[in-house]
Chain A
């Protein structure tokens, strides 16, 4: 039966080629259906990727831990004043967070200093920030020219673009230049385009190296990235508990669900010696007097979670609506296309009744006849699928281009589209093929 496939395929192509207009019109439903499927998948994938990319680059999944607690207290705001500066945050805290808090993608311990830096004749007063290599990913830096350092204890440095321009001239390539910071030499290995948090004016160096240069045993901050945007609040609460335990502030079991307010104060009247903030909270309270910020956030518990969840909810809804729309277009087109194929195959069987009779007289079994027409139907639908595939990719590119979305068409989606087209041909070609195969050879030969 499979030995006759090439013959049947050739017969199918010839038969379809004979009525090109009819073939094309019949394929139209399949073409539109497959194109819709592909556009749907391409744009869906692209939109998701684009939104997730934006959330990540915006840093909304970031959580900050800072040493010290500058909360101002008093009866009027009902919270206990913080202790102010503290040196109790240590690298081991960062390691403990990675080990014990779920959903943390990356961690970067940090120290910073504002100081003079020199490079030959050039000198500047700037912020020097010690970070871990993962920091680059948290902020989705593009480093060009150069690269990110890969260890936390080398003497490499990454310059912000504005600082690089200030030191070495606009648009310069400072890679390989040596910076002197507090009598320690750092080699510039890259320039970051990061704009967030004044990154353009900062020189970034490995945190452990900077700790050594400054003679510090503690660290000043820990920057964390949550795996999923929207989990920042939970992570914030867990870190708060963990650090209280580690710093001997309380048993860490109480009142951790009260969000920002609880994080800022403490249980049993002992104030925290650290501050945990989420990016959303930080963004909202930037520039606010601390009690005011505390109040604002106390009235908006789990602000980041709400916003991010809502944001992703909205996006999901929009994306689902679009997917549903395209899916129904695709579904309807494929069914209509399939019925079109069935119709034209029935016409073809009627037109070729004599041919069927002759083939049967010549020894074709029912299955041979059925196969011939089934192969023709599937060839028709696969051809439509192929045209739809090309159309769909072009459509996705065009729509993606006009919306500024990346329109990726995964290989699996192409295979799926072709598979669907083939399945439609098989499904809707079966009945005409069966009709053909059950014809009585005598009647078929008599047909005019």
Chain B
């Protein structure tokens, strides 16, 4: 059973007097453990697709089955619960709460789990998530005291803390330099390999999309190509591993 199944998904908005058709009938299956990169220029509908995949928005038409469950017409609160249990978000701008420590940032999704875990257990799980990304030393740092790469790793720890079945990464490297981008992409690759987690990546950069096992190109609200990809090999990144932080080692652990 595919983790994600989109069936003739359509989404349109009213914009003034015009109706904008952001998605014009997208059908797509994503299997567990795939690393899918969705690419396309701005205005192609990839963000809309991402919002629907992330249960932040509902399709106008068609069906979205997440883990076999049709979530196309769920209520706001039901969607919130699904986001909480099944989806981890990684954003371009990290979206960490300012003046809040790394570990508290990672705890945020746990605050909305039902039933609520006790405070000590929430802290424990957040620390474990940070530790798995090699950030245990930074648990008490505020985002402003962390580098961009570290901030994105905190955000990834936050996405992972509730053990979701799907990670949605929206331009996760958009605010990072090349070296850190490579580091983050390698981290995502490793998560897929070690945890078997499904990753959907939205990007407009071909070299970032190249880390995926499957590349889907979207244009004008339709899928124009859907190809399997041999991910950018590990050797490529291992060149500058020595200079980089021990993220890979930690992620492998």
**Hey, which bits of chain A sit against chain B, CB under 8 A?**
3-4, 6-7, 14, 18, 354-355, 357-368, 441-442, 445
| Besides A355-B97, A364-B112, 18 other A-B contacts (C-beta < 8 A) | A4-B116, A6-B119, A7-B111, A357-B95, A358-B95, A358-B108, A361-B89, A362-B89, A363-B113, A363-B162, A365-B77, A365-B112, A366-B80, A367-B77, A441-B56, A442-B56, A442-B57, A445-B91
Interface residue? B204 (CB, 8 A): no
Interface residue? B40 (CB, 8 A): no
Q: List 16 A-B contacts (CB under 8 A).
A: A6-B119, A359-B108, A359-B112, A362-B83, A362-B84, A362-B108, A362-B111, A363-B84, A363-B162, A364-B80, A365-B77, A365-B112, A368-B111, A368-B112, A442-B56, A442-B57
**A362 — which chain B residues lie within 8 A by C-beta?**
83-84, 89, 108-109, 111-112, 158
Q: Are A366 and B95 in contact, with the CB atoms below 8 A? A: no
Q: Are B97 and A358 in contact, with the CB atoms below 8 A? A: yes
Q: In the bound complex, what is the Cα–Cα distance between A248 and B95 (angstroms)?
A: 99
The 8 Å CB contact of A363, one of B83, B97, B99, B115, is: B83
Chain A: minimal CB distance from B109 (Å): 4
Interface residue? B81 (CB, 8 A): yes
Interface residue? B149 (CB, 8 A): no
**A442 — which chain B residues lie within 8 A by C-beta?**
51, 56-57
How many B residues touch the partner, as a band? 20 to 34
Q: In the bound complex, what is the Cα–Cα distance between A18 and B98 (angstroms)?
A: 11
Minimal Cβ-Cβ distance residue in B for A448: B93
B95-123 with Cβ < 8 A to chain A: 95, 97, 99, 108-109, 111-113, 115-116, 119
Q: In the bound complex, what is the Cα–Cα distance between A402 and B158 (angstroms)?
A: 61
Interface residue? B76 (CB, 8 A): yes
**B162 — which chain A residues lie within 8 A by C-beta?**
363
**A368 — which chain B residues lie within 8 A by C-beta?**
80, 111-112
Q: In the bound complex, what is the Cα–Cα distance between A442 and B83 (angstroms)?
A: 13
Q: C-beta contact mask, B45-66 vs A, less than 8 Å → 1, else 0?
A: 0000001001011000000000
Q: In the bound complex, what is the Cα–Cα distance between A188 and B56 (angstroms)?
A: 91
Minimal Cβ-Cβ distance residue in A for B77: A365
Chain A: minimal CB distance from B173 (Å): 18
The 8 Å CB contact of A3, one of B77, B99, B116, is: B116
Interface residue? B153 (CB, 8 A): no
Minimal Cβ-Cβ distance residue in A for B111: A7
Chain B: minimal CB distance from A448 (Å): 9
Chain A: minimal CB distance from B23 (Å): 14
8 closest A-B pairs by CB? A363-B84, A363-B112, A362-B109, A3-B116, A365-B77, A365-B80, A358-B95, A364-B112
Q: Are A354 and B112 in contact, with the CB atoms below 8 A? A: no
**B10 — which chain A residues lie within 8 A by C-beta?**
none
Interface residue? B85 (CB, 8 A): yes
**A359 — which chain B residues lie within 8 A by C-beta?**
108, 112
Specify which of A362, A441, A445 lies most central, judged by the most chain B CB atoms within 10 Å of its CB: A362
The 8 Å CB contact of B76, one of A4, A7, A366, A445, is: A366
Minimal Cβ-Cβ distance residue in A for B105: A358
Chain B: minimal CB distance from A126 (Å): 79
B18-72 with Cβ < 8 A to chain A: 51, 54, 56-57
B129-159 with Cβ < 8 A to chain A: 158
Q: In the bound complex, what is the Cα–Cα distance between A366 and B76 (angstroms)?
A: 8
**B85 — which chain A residues lie within 8 A by C-beta?**
363
**B57 — which chain A residues lie within 8 A by C-beta?**
442
**B119 — which chain A residues lie within 8 A by C-beta?**
6-7
Chain A: minimal CB distance from B188 (Å): 18
Specify which of B83, B109, B111, B162 lies most central, judged by the most chain A CB atoms within 10 Å of its CB: B111
Chain B: minimal CB distance from A348 (Å): 14
Q: In the bound complex, what is the Cα–Cα distance between A359 and B111 (angstroms)?
A: 9
**A7 — which chain B residues lie within 8 A by C-beta?**
111, 119
Chain A: minimal CB distance from B162 (Å): 8
Q: In the bound complex, what is the Cα–Cα distance between A445 and B162 (angstroms)?
A: 20
Minimal Cβ-Cβ distance residue in A for B117: A3
Specify which of A358, A359, A360 lies most central, judged by the most chain B CB atoms within 10 Å of its CB: A358
Specify which of A3, A6, A18, A367 lies most central, judged by the most chain B CB atoms within 10 Å of its CB: A3
**A360 — which chain B residues lie within 8 A by C-beta?**
56, 80, 83
